[in-house]
Amino acid sequence: MTKNVTIAHGNGGEENNELIQKIFYKHFENDILAKSEDAAVIEEGKLAFTTDSFTVSPLFFPGGDIGKLAVCGTCNDLAMMGAKPEYLTCSVIIEEGFSTRELEKIVKSMKKELEINGALVVGGDTKVVPKGSVDKLFINTTGIGKIEQKGISASALEEGMSVLVSRDVGAHGATIFASREGIELESSLQTDCASLYPQVKALMDADIEIVALRDATRGGVAAVLNEWAKSSTVCIEVEEERIPVQEEVKGICEMLGFEAVSLANEGTFVLAVAQADEAKALEILQNTHTSSAVIATVTKQYEGKVILNSSWGTKRFLDLPTGELLPRIC
């Protein structure tokens, strides 16, 4: 551990995991927390419970804003445990001088996403701090939902299972970078930020046996696959050419020297199912996004590792992201 917290400690990758493990888990250790899922499963498996804070910059970006991000982020974490979002709290820290017109616009975005999820904000807190104490607006949302499909876990992957992504990857991270740096793209690239419960509900209604779900936020798909490989003590072999990536995202990745699988998403999830459910699950996902794809298979080749098979016939380890990727993306 470094002596001081750096931007890299918030990237959802290796440094972030180290910070959580060596400080927070060390002192808060308990059986529920140790499972490291998107949401805690409580009340004998009946409820899912989660919390998240949002500090994105800029606050408004193509396809969304910090309010939409906050509700989607928390409701999506519940959905990833097979739960229907029910109740949220909303706490805000507002910088003195912030526009009330912009604040109301953000709250309206939150309301729209709440309606999509069928959820309610039932409590909250508001703090206003002196100018310069925070960058405009920070939001924290905590959510609770009723679990509709039990047993979804990052520790349940087994050899032979298939791994899918719900749509093309990296759009959110690329959009935030382009907006922050004032890059004008001759395209319609925008964040993938969206509520995922409707897609998860469609999978459950079709009797797909969901093994694991995770929305690929900070650290992207690479972080999700590495967490699953370690939690389940398996190897996940990814076919690089199957990973769906928009051309605009590829271009930004080339400029930054990043990989699309390491960029943040806010409306894209990774799904693990038995091979027998692969075709049906893919068909359901493609009803929403035609870019949905089967990208990997679970094996036992290198337990705890993710292998990337390139289109050139080479193999390499796909590790957890490290360094200062894109700060303040969620």
The 10 Å Cβ neighbour count of residue 118 is 13
Per the domain annotation, does 29 fall within a domain? no
Judgement on whether residues 229 and 202 belong to the same structural domain of the protein? yes
Per the domain annotation, does 289 fall within a domain? yes
Last residue of a domain, one of 147, 171, 195: 147
Judgement on whether residues 296 and 186 belong to the same structural domain of the protein? yes
Query: Which has more pLDDT, 325 or 288?
Result: 288
Q: Tell me, what's the pLDDT at 15?
A: 85
Q: Tell me, what's the pLDDT at 11?
A: 66
Omega prior to 244 cis, within 30 of 0:
no
Using one digit for the tens of pLDDT, what is the confidence trace for 97-146?
A: 999 999 999 999 999 999 999 999 999 999 999 999 999 999 999 999 99
Would the pLDDT of 163 be above 70?
Answer: yes
Judgement on whether residues 134 and 238 belong to the same structural domain of the protein? no
Judgement on whether residues 289 and 168 belong to the same structural domain of the protein? yes
The CATH number that applies at residue 215 is: 3.90.650.10
Query: Residue 176, SS3?
Result: helix
Per the domain annotation, does 121 fall within a domain? yes
Alpha-carbon distance of 120 to 49, in angstroms, equals 15
Per the domain annotation, does 75 fall within a domain? yes
Judgement on whether residues 124 and 40 belong to the same structural domain of the protein? yes
Per the domain annotation, does 327 fall within a domain? no
Kindly list the distances between the CA atom of residue 111 and the CA atoms of 54, 115, 116, 119, 146, in Å, as whole numbers in the listed order: 16, 6, 9, 9, 20
Q: How many domains does the chain have?
A: 2
Judgement on whether residues 255 and 112 belong to the same structural domain of the protein? no
Per the domain annotation, does 23 fall within a domain? no
Query: Which has more pLDDT, 173 or 2?
Result: 173
Using one digit for the tens of pLDDT, what is the confidence trace for 248-287?
A: 999 999 988 889 999 999 999 999 999 999 999 999 999 9
The CATH number that applies at residue 78 is: 3.30.1330.10
Judgement on whether residues 121 and 237 belong to the same structural domain of the protein? no
Kindly list the distances between the CA atom of residue 317 and the CA atoms of 203, 223, 307, in Å, as whole numbers in the listed order: 31, 13, 5
Query: Residue 12, SS3?
Result: coil
Mean pLDDT of the chain: 94
Per the domain annotation, does 328 fall within a domain? no
Using one digit for the tens of pLDDT, what is the confidence trace for 279-291?
A: 999 999 999 999 9
Q: Which domain holds residue 66?
A: 35-147
Judgement on whether residues 123 and 196 belong to the same structural domain of the protein? no
Would the pLDDT of 3 be above 80?
Answer: yes
Judgement on whether residues 254 and 137 belong to the same structural domain of the protein? no
Q: Tell me, what's the pLDDT at 211?
A: 98
Using one digit for the tens of pLDDT, what is the confidence trace for 221-239?
A: 999 999 999 999 999 999 9
Judgement on whether residues 171 and 297 belong to the same structural domain of the protein? yes
Query: Which has more pLDDT, 327 or 194?
Result: 194
Q: Which has the closest alpha carbon to 224: 160, 258, 272?
A: 272
Judgement on whether residues 235 and 276 belong to the same structural domain of the protein? yes
Confidence class of residue 41 from pLDDT cuts 50, 70 and 90? very high
Per the domain annotation, does 156 fall within a domain? no
Using one digit for the tens of pLDDT, what is the confidence trace for 57-108?
A: 999 999 999 999 999 999 999 999 999 999 999 999 999 999 999 999 999 9
Last residue of a domain, one of 85, 114, 147: 147
Length of the chain: 330
Last residue of a domain, one of 102, 121, 147: 147
Judgement on whether residues 195 and 297 belong to the same structural domain of the protein? yes
